[in-house]
Amino acid sequence: MITVEKTDTDVRVTIPKDAVPPKRLNALLDWLRLEEVVQRSRLTEADADRIADDIKAEWWKANKEKFIPPDER
């Protein structure tokens, strides 16, 4: 049985080892950690979009020859 305990400063969740496969539990914990970082972040959506576009452009620049034959570039 999964239990939740709330205190003034924390929420404690107890999950039996056999209740959730480790891979799924790790995915949940990764998501919670990401949520924590997002809450503290001052990055705007526009800034995040700009960074994502830069990353995609750099990746495409480095990898396009793997997808487009030289005679079609």
SS percent in the chain: helix, strand, coil, step 5:
60, 10, 30
Dist. CA 50–CA 43, nearest whole Å:
11
The span from the CA of 62 to the CA of 65, in Å, is 8
Distance CA 72, CA 68 (A): 6
pLDDT tens, residue by residue, 17-42: 999 999 999 999 999 999 999 999 99
Q: Is the pLDDT of residue 73 over 80?
A: no
pLDDT at 55 over 90: yes
Q: What is the mean pLDDT of the chain?
A: 94
- How distant is the alpha carbon of residue 7 from its chain centre? 28
Residue positions counted in the chain: 73
